[in-house]
Amino acid sequence: MNSEHTSPLEVVILAAGQGTRMRSALPKVLHELAGKALVHHVIDTAQLLKAKRIHTVIGHGADQVRDRLGELPTHWVLQTKQLGTGHAVAQALPGVDDDSTVLVLYGDVPLVRAETLEKLLDGVSDKSIALLTVELNDPTGYGRILRDTQNRVTAIVEQKDAKPEQLAIPEANTGILAAPAKYLKQWLPQLSANNAQGEYYLTDIIGMAVQNGLDVVAQTAASEWEVQGVNNRLQLAELERQHQRNIANQLMTDGVTLADPARIDVRGSLKTGRDVFIDVNCVFEGDVVVGDNVRIGPNCMIKNSRIEDAAEIDANSILEEAIVGEKAHVGPFARLRPGTELGPKSRVGNFVETKKTKLGAGSKANHLTYLGDCTVGENANVGAGTITCNYDGVNKFKTNIGDGAFIGSNSSLVAPVDIGVNATVGAGSVVTANVPDNNLAVARGKQCNIEGWQRPTKKS
């Protein structure tokens, strides 16, 4: 920010509207974009600006908003009657210090960038306020920016109050502005509702600023999507795709190969190393970290997980709160549930599910297996159809499998149980007792063949 702008920043977010065009019982600002409520995006952006305080004005569905987002770092302000943007900002001003700069944002404009707002704030001083505008091919519905012969901003006229020649102006008001709090406290009580909507327009302060001899410094947004609001589900979908495209562009700039940039969804934070390949229709949620040379196959869902260098995640796998070690291999059709840690060069194959399981370096569970509450040492092999019976209906118990152990196919390991180092469990066993190191355990009924067996027949 410039040297003149040294006052503390307070942000007022307007989020009280009902959003009738969403056709929803959910307050508009709680509808999600990239897995996060619209107003949550705006609060996050305000935090990036290092605001001294964030005030969020809520009205329709206020209890729902507070219940859902109550832990966010904002002061909730209730607007009991929705009488316009000017009235909404006035509700927050009693909690704003006189020496602050106030930045007004909107809970349904989720993609405005912190860099844009920082430039806007550079235009605020004791002698000026700042206004964010946008050039539109079709500004229908937006307030128009009026300028004098010297190109200075003089006022904003709303669509319903504009004259025909004013409707032809392409420069539109975004509603986002910044001004010294002392001026807002002076001007807002003077607002009039004598207009087509019968509301107190925040935009009327532009004319007041000009009358008081202040400059109105207009900052033009670089992109239309950055200041686009959400009024219906069509616009929400458009912004979702724009947001995902922005993320995809950044990933590719950072060295990631995307099979199709239009078919990736990031609903949180995705940090990637070099030479990563991500196939189509992958979804990333929460905080995901991906190392160098990782390959992720199509249709995978990865949430709050870390994937180390050169690991491979094959198609249709689901990872949640998991750690995949260096050069490990997962899938296809694997599910790693919370608490899973796969060691280097380990493998979890098709239709294998793990939960609270540590698989040591080089160990394998290749097919059709469930490992829950389990620790597997290094270079062990768990055969197809094996399950750890970790739950007795009330409590969970642990299974420990030692280094080099071999578990035969279709075995059931009834926890709590320990399988020793280099121990072997014969296929089809139901193991209920510990198996010492280097032992073979066979726990299955003796086969009996009956000659001349006649199958049952239906009674006539």
Task: Tell me, yes or no, whether 78 and 165 share the same domain.
Answer: yes
Task: Tell me, yes or no, whether 208 and 256 share the same domain.
Answer: no
Asked if the structure places residue 375 within a domain, the reply is yes
- Counting the structural domains of the chain, the total is 2
Q: CB-side exposure of 293: number of CA atoms within 13 Å?
A: 8
- Give me the percent of the chain exceeding a pLDDT of 90: 88
Q: Domain range spanning residue 62?
A: 9-227
- Label residue 1 by pLDDT band (50, 70, 90): very low
Q: Quote the CA–CA distance of 14 and 248 in Å, as a whole number.
A: 30
- Label residue 5 by pLDDT band (50, 70, 90): low
CB atoms within 10 A of CB 433: 9
Task: Tell me, yes or no, whether 304 and 280 share the same domain.
Answer: yes
- Label residue 27 by pLDDT band (50, 70, 90): very high
**Both tokens of residue 404?**
């080099």
Asked if the structure places residue 3 within a domain, the reply is no
Q: What is the pLDDT of residue 447?
A: 87
Question: Which residues partner with 265 through β-bridges?
Answer: 283
Q: What is the pLDDT of residue 184?
A: 97
Q: Please give the average per-residue pLDDT across 144-173, as a whole number.
A: 92
* CB neighbour list of residue 323: distance below 8 Å, 6 or more residues apart: 305, 306, 308, 340, 341, 342
Task: Tell me, yes or no, whether 209 and 317 share the same domain.
Answer: no
Task: Tell me, yes or no, whether 48 and 193 share the same domain.
Answer: yes
Q: Alpha helix (H) ranges present in 179-299? A: 181-187, 204-211, 233-253
Q: CB-side exposure of 385: number of CA atoms within 13 Å?
A: 10
Whole-angstrom CA distances from 80 to 57, 61, 62, 175, 428 are 10, 11, 9, 21, 68
Task: Tell me, yes or no, whether 268 and 394 share the same domain.
Answer: yes
Asked if the structure places residue 317 within a domain, the reply is yes
Residue 166 clears pLDDT 70, i.e. is over it: yes
Residue 74 and residue 43 in contact, taking contact as beta carbons nearer than 8 Å: yes
Residues 212-240: tens digit of each pLDDT: 999 999 999 999 999 999 999 999 999 99
Q: Alpha helix (H) ranges present in 95-152? A: 114-121
- Give me the percent of the chain exceeding a pLDDT of 70: 99
Q: Please give the average per-residue pLDDT across 110-121, as a whole number.
A: 97
* Bigger pLDDT: 158 vs 331: 331
Q: Rounded to two decimals, what is the model's pTM? A: 0.90
Task: Tell me, yes or no, whether 61 and 150 share the same domain.
Answer: yes
Q: Quote the CA–CA distance of 41 and 433 in Å, as a whole number.
A: 54
Q: Among 208, 227, 246, where does a domain finish?
A: 227
Task: Tell me, yes or no, whether 163 and 207 share the same domain.
Answer: yes
DSSP string computed for 67-85: HHHTTSS-EEEE-SS---H
Nearest of 344, 347, 350, 354 to residue 367 by alpha carbon: 350
Q: Please give the average per-residue pLDDT across 68-95, as a whole number.
A: 95
Asked if the structure places residue 189 within a domain, the reply is yes
The CATH number given to whatever domain includes residue 92 is 3.90.550.10
Q: Please give the average per-residue pLDDT across 185-198, as a whole number.
A: 89
Q: Quote the CA–CA distance of 170 and 173 in Å, as a whole number.
A: 10
Residue 431 and residue 441 in contact, taking contact as beta carbons nearer than 8 Å: yes
Task: Tell me, yes or no, whether 249 and 204 share the same domain.
Answer: no
Q: Quote the CA–CA distance of 34 and 247 in Å, as a whole number.
A: 11
Residue 90 clears pLDDT 90, i.e. is over it: yes
Nearest of 68, 53, 3, 65 to residue 28 by alpha carbon: 65
Asked if the structure places residue 154 within a domain, the reply is yes
- Label residue 3 by pLDDT band (50, 70, 90): very low
Q: Please give the average per-residue pLDDT across 103-121, as a whole number.
A: 97
Residue 451 clears pLDDT 50, i.e. is over it: yes
Angle, to 10 degrees, between the axis of helix 38-48 and the axis of helix 114-121?
A: 50
Helix (H) or strand (E) holding 133: strand 128-135
Q: What is the pLDDT of residue 198?
A: 85
Residue 172 clears pLDDT 60, i.e. is over it: yes
Q: Please give the average per-residue pLDDT across 420-437, as a whole number.
A: 98
Task: Tell me, yes or no, whether 259 and 175 share the same domain.
Answer: no
Burial grade of 12 (CB within 10 A; 0-12, 13-18, 19 or more): buried
Q: What is the pLDDT of residue 270?
A: 98
Residue 95 clears pLDDT 60, i.e. is over it: yes
Residue 2 clears pLDDT 90, i.e. is over it: no
Q: What is the pLDDT of residue 460?
A: 78
Asked if the structure places residue 100 within a domain, the reply is yes
Q: Please give the average per-residue pLDDT across 49-65, as a whole number.
A: 95
Task: Tell me, yes or no, whether 237 and 198 share the same domain.
Answer: no
Q: Which residues are catalytic?
A: 367
Task: Tell me, yes or no, whether 244 and 194 share the same domain.
Answer: no
The CATH number given to whatever domain includes residue 267 is 2.160.10.10
